[in-house]
Amino acid sequence: MKSLVKFTTITTVAISLLACNGLKKDKDAKLTNLRDSASYCLGLSVATNLAQDKLDSLNLDAFIAGYLDAKDPESYKIAVAEISNTIQNFAMQEIKIKYSANIEAGKKFLEENKKRAGVTTTASGLQYEVISMGTGAKPQMYDSVTVNYHGTKLDGSVFDSSKGANPVTLSLTPGKLIQGWVEGMTLFPVGSKFKLYIPENLAYGVNARGAIQPYETLIFEVELLATKKGEAPKMDMNAMQQMMGQ
């Protein structure tokens, strides 16, 4: 998601600054003061960042038309409320294209993996494999769990692990923990050892995280050591009233 945030931020700043000045197509522009230099650097920054993120396939004519229309809100071809969403949707589309190989690799792996003896696929698409089944309490959503884990990508490279370190305690709270983990932890009693094969849509999806690229399928080997009862977060009354249309 860093690419998306960076793209949206830089493009928004660039358009905002350009809208305050006249369009000037001069490849030999003179940099005579700090304003000139900053303007030039902003142009370099936008183009460089777009190229690095492979988000440089913008329609230049449409870009310039948008800049010119910015001076006259009544001429906008897209509603103001839709501008940010349009930019974000384009960025997400380009990221999905860039990392399409990860999506295909994940689908292929999971399709073959589910055929193996001992592998179970849930309704969500999560796959798991029991190494040994425990006899303790089974955690529920919002409970905390203490685990040892070892996370790898499809190529076998390790992106995170508690091996050689202390066990980790996590809260099974949606939004704070990836969906595949929240679901997976509730399938086993304490004392169990198991593997989770988490599709990209139940992992980090479009978001990159450290060594994890967007749309990567992840594998976790987990030992569930303990669980502690938790509580669902209480909804803010104002938020509840808004949901009810009051």
Express each pLDDT in 6-41 by its tens digit: 555 555 555 544 444 444 555 667 889 899 898 888
Element (H, E) at 80: helix 80-98
Which backbone phi and psi does 12 adopt, to 5 degrees? -65, -45
Structural domains in the chain plus CATH codes: 2-98 (no CATH), 100-228 (3.10.50.40)
Packed helices 80-98 and 2-18: angle between N→C axes, nearest 10 degrees? 140
3-state secondary structure of 121: strand
> What is the model's pLDDT at position 83?
86
> What is the model's pLDDT at position 46?
78
DSSP 158: E
> What is the model's pLDDT at position 133?
97
Q: Which residues of the chain have pLDDT under 50?
A: 1-5, 16-23, 237, 239-240, 243-244, 246
Closest CA to 151 of 170, 173, 132: 170
Cα–Cα distance, 130 to 244 (Å, whole number): 43
pTM of the model: 0.74
Cα–Cα distance, 235 to 120 (Å, whole number): 35
Q: Are 180 and 197 in contact (CB under 8 A)?
A: no
